[in-house]
Amino acid sequence: MKKLYTPGRIGDLEIKNRMVMAPMVDGFGTEGAPTERSLEYFRVRAAGGIGLIVVGNVHVDPEHRHLKPEFHLYDDSFTEKLRPLAQVIHSQGAKVFVQLIHQGRYARSSEYEGGAEAVAPSAVFTGMTRETPRALTEEEICRLEDYFAQAAKRAMEAGFDGVELCANSGYLFGQFLSPLTNKREDQYGGTLKNRAAFLTETICRVKEATDGSFPVTVRMGGNDFVAGSNTNEEACRIAGLLEEAGADAISVTGGWHESRVPQVTMDLPHGVFSYLGRNIRQSVDIPVMMGNRMDIFAAEELIERGDVDFAVFGRPMLADPQFPQKAAQGRYEEIRPCIGCNQGCLDHSMSGREIACLGNAECGRESELADERGLLPTEVREKTPRKLLVIGAGAAGMEFARVAALRGHTVTVWEKENTYGGQLRLASAPPARQDFKRLSDYLYKACVRAGVTFCFDRQASSGELTRQLEEKEADRLILATGAYPVSPAIPAERGMNMVQAWDVLSGQARTGKEIVVVGGGAVGIETAILLGEEGTLTAEELRFLMLYGAEEPDTLRELLNKGSKRVTVVEMQDKAGKDIGKTTRWIMLDRLKKLGIKVLTGSVVTEIKADGVIIQKDGENIKLSADTVVMAAGSRSDNHLLEQLKEKEGQVFVIGDARAPKKVMDAIRSAYDLGISIG
């Protein structure tokens, strides 16, 4: 058996395997306590085989009472309120810690009851909130240590197995640790030891307040990835101080929220920050956990090599709460992958919304969907199974087929192309977007396992579909025919090579050297990046040139960013990429910049010439020379079949983009919901 699936220890606590669910904000709580929805969300995750769950963002400070729907332990009344959470997780055989947090300068005063001022080691402005916090007094620091200790004691009394102190991502403990945000001249500032004093003293206070064997772990960055802050060298020294103070384990993650190194998007190779965990593991004797864009394969290797002791999974637990069990049984293909899109999780939580998952329509809806026996709809068989014919094997078509087949219907999918995936295939074409293909592969294999029949190269006509219904070969038709790209009505001269972005993404269109992309939404930007990256160094080339010192680092960086095409994006709106989630948008815009791709916003293409494009910007006409124009001007529902099948109302259903072009998450959600309700 692989080591990941064998028991591990934190202090005296035995954990049944080395898989840990990371603390995450879900937004399901109310007034600082879990709801039925929270309990069911965690119950399902504990039942999936994870060894330890760390319940995220539990607030400790009664002077800074968070208004968000997160959990609190700042007074005794919360001990009983949080007890059911520990119980429900224990009932499924997992252990549970709470992560105690103080956000310091990362909190807006408007997020606190009464608008209390944000506090920090020093009054250093942050762009995250656009506020300057107030510096804490020594007396307040001491009081905060006590708040943490009292909260840990309440966690112990409520039945939790341990606590994790949040010193990662730039929250209050991290702000003390960093010379960037800690400008103090007292015993809590200056040397690394002094900067760590708030944290090490808190560990001691927690130990004193609890029974001594109650585990206290610390989550910290292995490198802050912020210029002037702690690097992996200081991180090792900090970890040593934490061990000395009595920490029972260190949980390592990447850098701060303010870092310009992406931390959580699809751009990160799986397990890329694992070296940070290994680095710290070599400096301490206590167990080390490692997370950050960790998939099961990266985790297995990491633990097998002995680089760290536990692997931490956040978003994979949203995408598929059963993945620990499936992985332990070698059923890797059955794991619904987390693709790092952040569309339902981080983008939601950062805008104060409840979390969801692009690929998992059940995430966060467990209590709403489960029946009185606690079974989810995909675990229940229909009393009257039907013959269902699905047109289209994109995300919506496959998700519907998967769910309907699991419920016992006989499902056939017709797809006009010779393969599955639809727009997921296009979405996976740009650099660092390949995980969309993993989702597409998962859906296809899940359908096949559930007994769905696929017919590729099968064009559907209204006549044939009518016959299918009339001759009872199908009881219901589900149109998941997607969308098609639109071309804006722009006067165009002959001679210009005009192509659709979708054809560029699918590799079917030829492009020249000087390209104008019309439309700066997600598709336009992704296509521009794909084109802009043509001719840049590949990962293998970079490795070779670096290993042998063939070029200076600056030259290599230039070669990574210098492609062979000149690309310009023209966007009508005042900003490009408005339809991209907050956590991903800045990275894509940054990539455009690094690739030297110009983005002209507030600009309208008024004419296409044989050798360029005329745009209107700020009342002026400007000519951009080009040999290729790529249209990325949106899409329209492909629902021609619906119009032709009007008289079959009640037997015909439309899902996904065929209903209205939206995000993949919407397509999957609508497909799931129809799959569980169709009868």
Contact between 359 and ligand SF4 (CB under 6 A)?
yes
Per CB under 6 A, the segment of 37-45, 311-319, 406-414, 517-525 that binds ligand SF4 is 311-319
514 pairs with which residues across the strands?
566
* Helix residue spans in 338-407 (DSSP H): 346-350, 366-369, 395-406
3-state secondary structure of 263: coil
Residue number, 10 or 358, with CB nearest to ligand SF4: 358
Considering only the stretches 106-114, 140-148, 274-282, 351-359, report the one whose residues sit in contact with ligand SF4 under the rule CB under 6 A: 351-359
- Closest distance between ligand SF4 and the C-beta of residue 316, in Å? 7
CB neighbour class for 191 (10 Å; exposed up to 12, middle 13-18, buried from 19): exposed
Asked if 339 is part of the footprint of ligand SF4 (rule: CB under 6 A), the reply reads yes
CB-wise, 126 or 584, nearer to ligand SF4? 584
CA dist., res. 215 & res. 207, Å (int): 8
- Answer yes or no whether residue 357 interacts with ligand SF4 by CB under 6 A: yes
- Only one residue has tokens 């319940």, namely 55
Residue of 158, 341, 505, 570 that binds ligand SF4 (CB under 6 A): 341
Cα of 559 vs its chain's centroid, Å: 29
| SS3 call for 216 | strand
Interface segment toward ligand SF4; rule CB under 6 A; list 214-222, 313-321, 391-399, 615-623: 313-321
Nearer to ligand SF4, 199 or 396 (CB): 396
**Residue closer to ligand SF4 (CB basis): 133 or 337:** 337
The residue (of 216 and 318) whose beta carbon lies closer to ligand SF4 is 318
List all residues 6 or more positions away from 432 whose beta carbon is below 8 Å from its beta carbon: 265, 266, 267
Number of residues that bind ligand SF4 (CB under 6 A): 14
Binding part of the chain for ligand SF4, among 55-63, 242-250, 355-363, 650-658 by CB under 6 A, reads 355-363
Closer residue to ligand SF4 in complex, CB, 195/270: 270
Spatial neighbors of 188 by CB under 8 A, at least 6 apart, are 121, 138, 141, 176, 182, 194, 195, 197, 198
Query: Taking CB under 6 A as the rule, does residue 358 contact ligand SF4?
Result: yes
For the bound state, the minimum distance from the C-beta of residue 436 to ligand SF4, rounded and expressed in Å, comes to: 10
Contact in structure between 665 and 344 (CB atoms under 8 Å): yes
* 344 sits near ligand SF4 (criterion: CB under 6 A): yes
Note whether 27 binds ligand SF4 by CB under 6 A: no
- In the complex, the smallest distance separating the C-beta of residue 665 from ligand SF4, rounded to whole angstroms, is 7
Structure tokens belonging to residue 578: 């408005």
* From 210, 322, 342, 637, residue interacting with ligand SF4 (rule: CB under 6 A): 342
User: Is position 239 an interface residue for ligand SF4 (rule: CB under 6 A)?
Assistant: no
User: Quick one: which segment of 337-345, 472-480, 496-504, 510-518 binds ligand SF4 (CB under 6 A)?
Assistant: 337-345
Q: Are 451 and 625 in contact (CB under 8 A)?
A: no
Q: Considering the rule CB under 6 A, would residue 189 count as an interface residue with ligand SF4? A: no
Q: How far apart are CA 145 and CA 510, in angstroms?
A: 63
Q: Which residues have a Cβ under 8 Å from the Cβ of 670 and sit 6 or more positions away? A: 396, 655, 656, 659
d(C-alpha 22, C-alpha 55), whole Å: 8
Separation of alpha carbons 353 and 637, rounded Å: 28
| Identity at 446, one-letter amino acid code | A
If binding is defined by CB under 6 A, does position 319 make contact with ligand SF4?
Answer: yes
Interface residues with ligand SF4 (CB under 6 A) are 315, 318-319, 338-345, 357-359
